[in-house]
Amino acid sequence: MTTENRRGHPVRRRDVIKSGAALVGGAALPGALASQASAAPSGTLVVAAPATPQSLDSNFDVSLGTFEAIAALYDNLLEFKKIPDPKRAGAFREDIADHPDMPAGLAVQGKLAQSFELDPAGKFIRFQLRPGVKSNWGNELTAEDVKWTWDRKFGLKAIGAFYLSTLGLDKPEGVKVEGKYTVSINLDNPNPLLAKLQPNLYAPIYDSTKCKEVATADDPWARKFIENNSAGFGPYRLDQLQRGQQAVFKARPDYYLGKPAMDTVIFREVPTSATRASLLQGGAVDIAQYLQPLEIMKLRDQKDVAVDSVDSSFMIWLELNAKIEPFGNPKVRQAMNFAFPQEQVLKTVFQGLAGPLNGCMPNIYAGFTDKFWKYKYDPAMAKALLKEAGLASGFKTSLAYNAGDPVQEPIAILYQTALRDIGVELELKKVPAATFYNAVSERKQPMIFYVDSPWCPDVGYSMTLYFNSDSFVNYSNYKNEEVDKLIKDTSHTNDQKARLEMMTKAQDIVMSEAPWVFIAYPGYHFARRANLKGFTYYTSNNIRFQDFTRDA
Amino acid sequence: MSVGTHSGPAASGTRPTAGGDAPWRRRLRFFLAVLRARPSFALGYAIVVGVIVIAALAPWIVPFDPMTADPAVYLLPPGGRHLLGTDGAGMDIFSRVLYAPRVDLTIAVTGTLVSAVIGGAIGAVVGYYEGQRAWRRALSTFVMRSADVLQAFPVFVFAIALVAVFGQSVKSIVIAIAFVNVPIYLRLTRSQVLSIRQLRYVEAAYVAGASDLAILWRHVIPNAIAPLVAQLSINIGWSVLLTAGLSFVGAGVVAPTPEWGSMIAMGFQNIVTGQWWPSVFPGIALGLTVFGFALVGASIEVLADPARRRVLSGSLG
Amino acid sequence: MLLLRYIARRVVFVVPQLFGIVLVSFFLVKLIPGDPAVMMLGPTASAQSLAELRDRMGFTKPLLQQFTRYVTDVAHGDLGTSWQTTRPVTEDLFQRFPATLELITFGLLLAVAIGFPLGVAAARLKRGPVRKFADYYGLLAGAMPDFWLALVLIFIFYTVLGWIPAPLGRIDMAVLPPPTITGSLVIDSLIAGDWEALRSSLGHLALPVLTLGVINAGPILKMTQSMTERTLSSDFVRYAEMCGLPRRLVLRQAVRAALPSVVTIISVLYGFLIGGAVLVEMVFSWGGAGQYAVQGVLNADLNPVLGFVLFSAVLSLVIYLVVDLIYFALDPRLRS
C-alpha cells in the first residue's frame, strides 16, 4: 500500500458520509419539520385541484383544470340570479328554475350585457353591452368582441360548433353588430336556448382587439395565444401557468364589478385526493376539490373544515353500447339495470353522499321526472328478462373503468359479483386517466363508465346531448326515431309548456329502453376551510374565485 | 460428474461410506445440521415452503371467495369473521392475501425460470466462445454489448412499456420479467463458464474429441449451475416485488385478481383516511415471502460454494 | 496520459451503446397502442385536423424514417414535446431530473450510512445480537416493497403522529423555492441562506429518503459484510495479524480491500434508482423524472419515455465511468 492511497480516499469518503448523516440526522427532530403552514395573507386563496389547466382555450379543452380558469379569466353576457341553497345554509346557487313571469322565462340578469331583448318568437336576441368595461389588456368591450367570439366558433368548429348547432345558428352573418355596444344573434328558426345558453361557462367573450393583434396568417383565431394566455373581461388575469404544477391568478383592480376579495389565487395540482384532503385539514390550502366519499365523511368531523354538500347536475352511469351485442336488445339492457345493486353502492362506495340516478337527466332541472324509474334491484327479474332475450345461460362482456376515479373500481367489482348471480361474466378493464376520455369517445367498449353533467339547465339540452342519435356525446349509440323527433321539435319552439310535455314523453321512452345502467347523482361536495364564505354552485360544476370572502 | 466441486472423493452416488450411510442420507443430515445451526436458513425454507403450500391449497382453505364483493361488509376493520378486515369493495382481505401467491408466485417463478434458461444458455455459449477466433468472438462481443444495452434500460419503465405493448395480462408480466432478468443470468453464466473452461477436465474432454455442445452440456453447465440456483431464488423474490410494483402502478394484473401489489394499490387511498388494513397486510405478506426467498438464496449460496461450506461445516463442530 | 486515454476509449464505446438504446426503445415505444394524434388534439378534433397532425408529426411515414428523424432531432438536442404537459421534453426533464437525483442521492447516502457500518460490524462479530440483527435486516430490507414502506411511514408519521408535512412534492406550497443553481433544493437553499426553504425541503425529503435509505441499506450491508468477511479471511490479512498489527489497522486494510465491491453495488443501486425510485416518487408526488416516464408509458405519451430512457442511460453510463475511475484510485493493481 503506497502512501498516496492512505492519504487518499478513506478520509474523503468518511467525511462525505458524516456530513450527509449530520444533515439528515439533525433535521430528524420530530416536529421540527412539519412546517407550520405559513398563514397565507387573507387575500390569497389556495386551491388543491386534481389537475392544472391543459389548454385555456374553451373551444378545445374540456379537462378538469380548465373550467376554473375560464370562470376566472372570462365573463359572459348574461348570468343566472343567485339564490340561497335550500339544502345548505350559507351556500348559494344559480336560480335555474322556470320563471314564466320574467323576461325570457328565466331568472337571468345582465353581466357584460347591461340589458337584453329577447324575441318572443325566439328568433333573435339583442344585447346592449355595458360601456367602459375593460379587458385585462386594457381594451374596451364592444359589439365587435362579441362578433369575433362567435365568428371564432365558426372558424374553428370543435366545441364552438356544438354551440352553433345547439342554437341552430348556421352562418356567421347571423351575429350582427348594430352599434358600438349593440349586437344581436339572429336565427332562421326559433330556438328556446338563445338566452339560456349565454351564462354557459363555455360561452365567454374574448377581447378581439388583443386577439387580432397576436393573430398571424397561419393562426387567424389566435389559438396559440389563447391556449396559454387570457384575453377577456373576467375578474382575474393569468399571472403564471406551470402545467402539472400550478396556475396563479391575480385579481384585476379595474374589473367592472369591483376588485374581487381574493387578490391572489394559487391553483395547485395535487393528483391524489387523499393528499388534497390532508392539505385542507392541515390548513395548507383553503379548498380541496373532488374528494372521495370517505375523505368527505372524515372531514365533516373536523373543526376548522366545512363541507358544503349540494345537489348538482352531475350524473354517473354506465354506457351500454347499443352497437355491441348483446346490448342492442333493450331487454338485456333492462336486465343489466335490474341486476345492479344500486342501493348498496350508494350506501357503501358513496357513503350515503349520493342520490340514486332514477332518471336520465339532472334532477335539478325543470322538466325532470322520476316517475318512469322502475329498476329497483331485482335479480330474479333480470334473469327472467335475459331468458326472454334468449340469453338464459348468460353471456360474457367487459366493463372499462377510469383508473383515476377511485369510486369506479369498487363499483365495478361490486357489479361483477352481482352479475354472477344472473349468469353474466364481467371482465374488468382498467384505463389510465389521461386516456380514459378517448376510450369513451371511441365507442369500442361494450360497457364503460361515464361521469358528466349537462351544463345548460334545460330539459331539451340535457336530452339531446345523450339521446339524440346525432349527438357527439351519445356514447351509448342510442337511437330511437321517436325520441329524435321529440328532441328536434323541442329545440325548434319557444313554448316551454309544450317542450316540457314532449320531453316528458322522451324520458318515458328512454327510461324504458335503458341505454344506461343508472348509478347515481353524486352531488357536489365542496370542501373548504370553515372561515371561507361565499360558495356558489354553478351547473357547470366549477367554482368562481370571485365569489369568495374570508371571515376574520 | 467431475472432480473439483465436491468435498469428498468423486462420489458417484452408489458407493456407501465407511459408516454404512448412503451419501444422500449423509447430505440430508448435513443439510439438517446446517438448518439447526443457522436458524435463519431454516426460517427461509419454512417461509418458502409455507407460501407454496398456501398457494397450492388456497382454494380449499380460504374462508371467503377472494373475488366476491359483499357490500354489506364494506371496509370492515380486522377482527371477527374477517380476520384481516375487508377492503373498499367488500372483499375479504385474509382470503385475498392467501390467494395472492398463486398469481404472484406463478408469474415470478415462470418469468425467472424462462429468463434463467434463456440467459443461462446464451451466457454459457458466449462464455465458452469468448476470446476464440473469428466469428465466435464477434458473436460473443455482440451479445455482450446487447446485454449492456438491455441492462442500461431503467428496469421498471422498461417493464411497464412491455406490459403496455402486450396488453395487461399475466402473460405480458411474465414476458416483462423474463426480459429484464435475462442479462443477469447471461452475465452470471458467462463468468462462471469463463472460469470453468480453464479447468483441466474441460481441456481433457476437448482433447479427447468431445464436441463443443457435449462439453458444454456434460461438463461446463452442471458445474456452473450452483450460483445460478442461488440467484434464482433471490430473483424470484425480486420478481414478486416487480409484479407488485407493476400492479401498484396499474400495469399489472386485472382487477379484482388477488395480487399483493394491486391490493396495496387499492388500499392506497384509504391509508390517509385511516383504513390501514387493506394495504398493510398484503405488504407484510409480500415482504415476508420475498424475505423467505432471499434467505433460501443465501443458504444455497453458502451450501454451493465449497469454500463457504467448509467454513460452515467447520463451525458445526 | 493514461487516464485520459482510458476515458476517451470509454466515451467512444458509449456512442454505439447509446445508439443501441435509442434504437430498442424507439421501436418498443412505438409498439405501445394508442393514437398520439387523438391524444394531442382531444376527441373533439375533426378527422381532417387529426390527419393533418399525423402528417405533420410524421406518424404516417415508415418506421425507419420516423426513427432517422427522431435521431437527427436528438442529435440537435430536440427530444420532442409531451402532449400531457405541452412542453418540450428537454425542459420537462431538466426540471424533473434534479428532483429525482436529489432524492436518490440523499437516499443512498442514508443507505450507506446505515448499511456500511452495520456490514463491517457484522463481518467482524461472528456472533452476537449485532450480527443477528444485521443478517436479518440485510435480507428483510431488500424484501420490503418500497411503495408499501412509504405508505406505512406516511401513515405513522403523518396521519397518526403529524410530525411530517403533507406528502406532496419537495417543498411546502407556501414557501418560495430558492433560486435554482444545482437543482437540489437543499443545496440551493444552503447556498442562498434561505433557512425556511431549507427546513421545508428537508422536511419533505425526510420520509422518501428514509424509505429509500432503509430499503437500499440492505444490499449495501450484505455486500459490505460478505466482502469484508472474505478479505478478513484472506492471506494478506492473516499475514498482517501474524505480524502483530493492531486489530483496528487490520480491519481498515480489510475494509479498504472490500471497497471496490461496495462501490460497485452503490453504483448499481444508483443506476437502478434513477428509474427504480418511481414508485416512491409517485407515493410522495415528488415530480421526479421516473414518475414522468411512467405517466408517459401509461398514457401513450411517447416522447417523455424516450427522452427519459436516453437521459437515464447516459447518466448510468456516466456513473459507471466514474465508478471505474474510482476503482483506479482505490485499487493500485489496476493502475499498472
Average pLDDT (C211-218) is 92
**Rounded Cα–Cα distance for residues A297 and B87 (Å):** 17
The interface predicted TM-score of the complex, written ipTM, equals 0.81
Say which residue, A104 or A266, is predicted with more confidence: A266
CB-CB neighbors (< 8 A) of C152 in chain B: 280, 283
Task: Note whether C127 and B244 are within 8 A (CB).
Answer: no
pLDDT category of residue A177 using cuts at 50, 70 and 90: very high
pLDDT at A39: 45
What phi and psi, each to the nearest 5 degrees, are found at residue A310?
-130, 160
pLDDT at A81 over 80: yes
CB-nearest partner of B272 from A277, A412, A414: A277
- Model confidence over C19-65: pLDDT tens digits? 888 888 888 878 877 777 776 666 666 777 778 888 877 777 888 88
pLDDT at C124: 82
DSSP class per residue in A450-472 = EEE--SS--HHHHHHHHHSTT-T
- Model confidence over C89-115: pLDDT tens digits? 998 898 889 999 999 999 999 999 999
**Are C173 and A284 a contacting pair at CB < 8 A?**
yes
Our separate counts of H helices and E strands in chain C read 15, 0
- Top residue of B148, B157, B234, B248 to mutate, by most chain C CBs within 10 Å, is B157
**Are A417 and B250 a contacting pair at CB < 8 A?**
no
Q: For residue B126, what are the contacts with CB-CB under 8 A and spacing of at least 6?
A: B139, B140, B143, B144, B186, B190, B193
Long-range contacts of B7-12 (CB under 8 A, 24+ apart): B7/B306, B7/B309, B7/B310, B7/B313
pLDDT at A2: 30
pLDDT category of residue A185 using cuts at 50, 70 and 90: very high
Q: What is the mean pLDDT of chain A?
A: 87
- Percent of chain B at pLDDT > 90 equals 21
pLDDT at C2: 72
pLDDT category of residue C234 using cuts at 50, 70 and 90: confident
Looking at A436-440, A528-532, B200-204, B303-307, which range is the least confident one?
Answer: B303-307
Looking at A192-196, A522-526, B164-168, which range is the least confident one?
Answer: B164-168
pLDDT at C49: 75
User: Interhelix angle for B39-61 vs B277-304, to 10°?
Assistant: 130
Say which residue, A71 or B208, is predicted with more confidence: A71
pLDDT at A470: 86
Q: Which of residues 191-230 of B touch C (CB under 8 A)?
A: none
- Model confidence over B20-66: pLDDT tens digits? 567 788 878 877 887 777 787 888 899 999 999 999 999 999 899 99
pLDDT at B4: 38
Nearest CA to CA, how far is B68 from chain A (Å)?
A: 5
- Top residue of A1, A2, A4, A35 to mutate, by most chain C CBs within 10 Å, is A35
CA angle C275, C278, C284 (to 5 degrees): 150
CB-nearest partner of C202 from A33, A243, A278: A33
* pTM of the model as a whole: 0.83
Beta strands A113-118; A108-110: pairing state: unpaired
**Are B248 and C147 a contacting pair at CB < 8 A?**
yes
B169–chain C Cβ distance below 8 A for any pair = no
Q: What is the mean pLDDT of chain B?
A: 81
Say which residue, B76 or B271, is predicted with more confidence: B76
**Are A272 and C300 a contacting pair at CB < 8 A?**
no
CA Rg value for chain A: 26
- Calculate the alpha carbon distances from A30 to A196, B91, C158, C190 in Å: 57, 37, 11, 21
Average pLDDT (C127-140) is 83
- Model confidence over A3-51: pLDDT tens digits? 323 333 332 323 333 333 333 333 333 333 333 344 456 789 999 998 8
Residue of A nearest to C197 (CA): A35
pLDDT at B306: 66
C-alpha cell at A294: 370517505
pLDDT at A10: 31
Distance in angstroms between the alpha carbons of the first and the last residue of chain C: 13
A348–chain B Cβ distance below 8 A for any pair = yes
Could you tell me the sign of the dihedral formed by the alpha carbons of A445, A449, A453, A459, in that order? positive
Minimal CA–CA distance to B40: which of C143, A159, C22?
A: C143
Residue bearing cell 322522451: A506
Nearest CA to CA, how far is C140 from chain A (Å)?
A: 23
CB-nearest partner of B149 from C24, C32, C143: C24
pLDDT category of residue C157 using cuts at 50, 70 and 90: confident
pLDDT at C32: 78
Minimal CA–CA distance to C188: which of C99, C254, C60?
A: C99
pLDDT category of residue C174 using cuts at 50, 70 and 90: low
Distance in angstroms between the alpha carbons of the first and the last residue of chain B: 29
**Are A409 and B89 a contacting pair at CB < 8 A?**
yes
pLDDT at B5: 42
Average pLDDT (A332-357) is 94
Say which residue, C213 or A16, is predicted with more confidence: C213
Q: In what order do the strands lie in the sheet with A82-84?
A: A82-84, A92-94, A536-537
Nearest CA to CA, how far is C89 from chain A (Å)?
A: 13
B283–chain A Cβ distance below 8 A for any pair = no
CB-CB neighbors (< 8 A) of A432 in chain C: 298-299
pLDDT at A245 over 80: no
Average pLDDT (C73-102) is 85
- Model confidence over B185-227: pLDDT tens digits? 888 888 788 777 777 777 888 788 878 777 777 777 777 777 7
pLDDT at A301: 87
Nearest CA to CA, how far is A538 from chain C (Å)?
A: 24
CB-CB neighbors (< 8 A) of A449 in chain B: none
CB-CB neighbors (< 8 A) of C148 in chain B: 264, 279-280, 282-283, 286-287
CB-CB neighbors (< 8 A) of C253 in chain A: 1
pLDDT at C83 over 70: yes
Task: Note whether B182 and B150 are within 8 A (CB).
Answer: yes
Say which residue, C256 or A381, is predicted with more confidence: A381
**Rounded Cα–Cα distance for residues A394 and A399 (Å):** 16
Q: For residue B17, what are the contacts with CB-CB under 8 A and spacing of at least 6?
A: B23, B26
**Are A341 and B71 a contacting pair at CB < 8 A?**
yes
Nearest CA to CA, how far is A518 from chain B (Å)?
A: 18
pLDDT at A370 over 50: yes
Nearest CA to CA, how far is C80 from chain A (Å)?
A: 17
CA B191 vs. chain centroid, Å, equals: 20
CB-CB neighbors (< 8 A) of C45 in chain A: 60, 158
A268–chain C Cβ distance below 8 A for any pair = yes
**Are C165 and A438 a contacting pair at CB < 8 A?**
no
- Model confidence over B86-139: pLDDT tens digits? 998 889 999 999 999 999 999 999 999 999 999 988 888 887 777 677 777 777
pLDDT at A513 over 90: yes
Say which residue, A180 or C19, is predicted with more confidence: A180
CB-nearest partner of C84 from A16, A35, A434: A434
pLDDT at C169: 75
Task: Note whether A313 and A455 are within 8 A (CB).
Answer: yes
Nearest CA to CA, how far is C119 from chain B (Å)?
A: 16
Q: Which of residues 151-210 of C touch A (CB under 8 A)?
A: 158-159, 161-168, 172-175, 186, 196, 199-200, 202-203, 206, 209
Consecutive H or E run containing A84: strand A82-84
pLDDT at A83 over 90: yes
Position B283, amino acid: G
Residue of A nearest to C207 (CA): A28
- Model confidence over A190-239: pLDDT tens digits? 999 999 999 999 999 999 999 999 999 989 999 989 989 999 999 999 99
Task: Note whether A282 and A408 are within 8 A (CB).
Answer: no
Looking at A162-176, B294-308, C122-136, C292-306, which range is the least confident one?
Answer: B294-308
- Top residue of A273, A292, A294 to mutate, by most chain B CBs within 10 Å, is A294
Q: What is the mean pLDDT of chain C?
A: 82
A429–chain C Cβ distance below 8 A for any pair = no
Q: Which of residues 211-250 of C touch A (CB under 8 A)?
A: none
